[in-house]
Amino acid sequence: MAHAPNPVFSKLPTTIFTTMSALAAQHSAVNLGQGFPDEDGPVSIRQVAAKALADGPNQYPPMRGLPQLRQAICAHAKRFYGIEFDPDANVVVTSGGTEALTASIMALAAQGGEVLLIEPAYDSYAPIAEAVGARVKTVKLSPPDWRLDAEAIAAAITPDTRVLMLNSPLNPTGRAFTRDELQGVSRVLARSNAVAVCDEVYEHLIFDRREHIPLITLPGMAERVVRVGSAGKMFSLTGWKVGWVTGPKALIDVIAKAHQFITFTTPPALQLGVAYALEQEMDFTLNLTKSLQANRDLLAQRLSHIGFEILPCEGSYFLTVGIRSLTNEGDRAFCERLVREAGVALIPLSVFFSNGTPDHLVRFAFCKKQGVLEQALRRLERFFRV
């Protein structure tokens, strides 16, 4: 008889994002669940990639990524954060942020070691850590301010902690951690045996003139931190799945070894498109942030009027709101009812917590055209009789 498949994966449900998108399609709902823009990024970027696809070559590019893209990633890090990276030593191009995270966790965590997650946590971290045999531990942030508490992290770190996963701006709550909070983390990290994998895929999607602060730029962190980026989020091309990891050579060398057996490479035409985008189209990203901020404000104002409790949102594609004044049901039941009865798809926040609580919060994706947000709002206003 054949062995049972790996329980880490066989026991997992399909991701909530896929589940809610399927329900949205089934019920012709406005999909404010899964986070993807409904308008593609600049046509100029797509044309560069299309030409590269037609002209070729279309064979395996270098394992760590095309030199043009690695250079552009380093120039971007220098321009925005003053970080000096060497394209040959400090960068691996990956197939999306997802692969960057997987390669990083596989390379830096290990059998018997611990991986520390800050909850709410993006859903890909824990299964990959468990699949490599690491024990997953969690520190929970609390609404409404979701403040990062260095003491709580210090209390959860043990000599066996190998990796701290840190996501800022944070999906799903939109928190962008302050310098003060990050300094607390850096002090804890410096006293530990751990490194940090910083998921910074929303680095530019940050509002109200806040500054994105990569943990790697803080004193003592250059050798201890890797940074994950994604062209999908920067240029509204989420289907392209072009991402990268940057960081110290000693860590990047091992991450590259994991990457060589996950995907080995990423489509060359898309890499050239993204190299062009990082060099020529950053204005698109900076303007996207402005329109996202306006979308956040529109949603916050109208949802508040309906009776949702608005939590602060400092960045990302997402606004989190409380549902207690509208219903006593759990967030998941509420979302499943809303998609069927109101025709609006959302994401319940409890899925981002290992113990399933809090369960009175839901996430709205606002990376949508204003007309689409308006349509969702009108449906909700009608449903809740506002």
Tell the smallest beta-carbon distance from residue 238 to ligand PMP (Å).
Answer: 5
Torsion of CA 212, 218, 222, 223, to 10 degrees: -120
17: contact with ligand GLN by CB under 6 A: yes
DSSP β-bridge partners for residue 227: 198, 246
345 DSSP 8-state letter: E
Tell the smallest beta-carbon distance from residue 314 to ligand PMP (Å).
Answer: 14
Compute the radius of gyration of the chain from its Cα atoms: 21
199: contact with ligand PMP by CB under 6 A: yes
Instruction: Output 122 or 342, the one with its CB closest to ligand PMP.
Output: 122
Instruction: Output 204 or 302, the one with its CB closest to ligand PMP.
Output: 204
Given 122, 146, 177, 207, the residue binding ligand PMP (CB under 6 A)? 122
HSE, side-chain direction, 13 A CA sphere, residue 121:
27
SS3 of residue 247 by DSSP: coil
Q: Is 80 exposed, middle or buried (0-12, 13-18, 19+ CB in 10 A)?
A: middle
Estimate to the nearest angstrom the gap between the alpha carbon of 35 and the chain centroid: 10
Element housing 321 (H / E): strand 318-322
Instruction: Output 243 or 348, the one with its CB closest to ligand PMP.
Output: 243
167: contact with ligand PMP by CB under 6 A: yes
34: contact with ligand GLN by CB under 6 A: yes
Amino acid, res. 90? N
Q: From 79-87, 143-151, 237-245, 248-256, give the range in contact with ligand PMP by CB under 6 A.
A: 237-245
Tell the smallest beta-carbon distance from residue 170 to ligand GLN (Å).
Answer: 11
Instruction: Output 20 or 52, the one with its CB closest to ligand GLN.
Output: 20
Binding partner selected for residue 34 from ligand PMP, ligand GLN, none, CB under the kind-specific 5 to 8 Å limit: ligand GLN
Instruction: For strands 361-365 and 318-322, give the pairing.
Output: antiparallel
Phi/psi at 178 (nearest 5 deg)? Answer: -85, 165
Distance between CA atoms of residues 102 and 97, nearest Å: 9
Sheet holding 161-167, edge to edge: 91-94, 243-246, 225-230, 195-199, 161-167, 114-119, 135-140
35: contact with ligand GLN by CB under 6 A: yes
Instruction: Output 245 or 342, the one with its CB closest to ligand PMP.
Output: 245
Binding partner selected for residue 199 from ligand GLN, ligand PMP, none, CB under the kind-specific 5 to 8 Å limit: ligand PMP
Tell the smallest beta-carbon distance from residue 17 to ligand PMP (Å).
Answer: 7
Binding partner selected for residue 167 from ligand GLN, ligand PMP, none, CB under the kind-specific 5 to 8 Å limit: ligand PMP
Instruction: Output 123 or 309, the one with its CB closest to ligand GLN.
Output: 123
**Sign of the torsion formed by the C-alpha atoms of 231, 237, 242 and 243:** positive
Interface with ligand PMP (CB under 6 A), residue total 13
Angle at which helix 249-259 crosses helix 96-108, to 10 degrees, equals 110
Name residues contacting ligand GLN, limited to 154-193 (CB under 6 A). 171
Given 232, 247, 267, 322, the residue binding ligand PMP (CB under 6 A)? 232
- The residue among 171, 165, 180 whose CA lies nearest residue 203 is 171
Q: Is 254 exposed, middle or buried (0-12, 13-18, 19+ CB in 10 A)?
A: middle
385 contact partners, CB below 8 Å, separation of at least 6: none
Tell the smallest beta-carbon distance from residue 332 to ligand GLN (Å).
Answer: 16
Instruction: Output 38 or 88, the one with its CB closest to ligand PMP.
Output: 38
Given 15, 26, 58, 357, the residue binding ligand GLN (CB under 6 A)? 15
DSSP β-bridge partners for residue 139: 118
Tell the smallest beta-carbon distance from residue 121 to ligand GLN (Å).
Answer: 11
Interacting residues with ligand PMP (CB under 6 A): 96-98, 122, 167, 171, 199, 201, 230, 232, 238, 241, 243
Interacting residues with ligand GLN (CB under 6 A): 15, 17, 34-35, 171
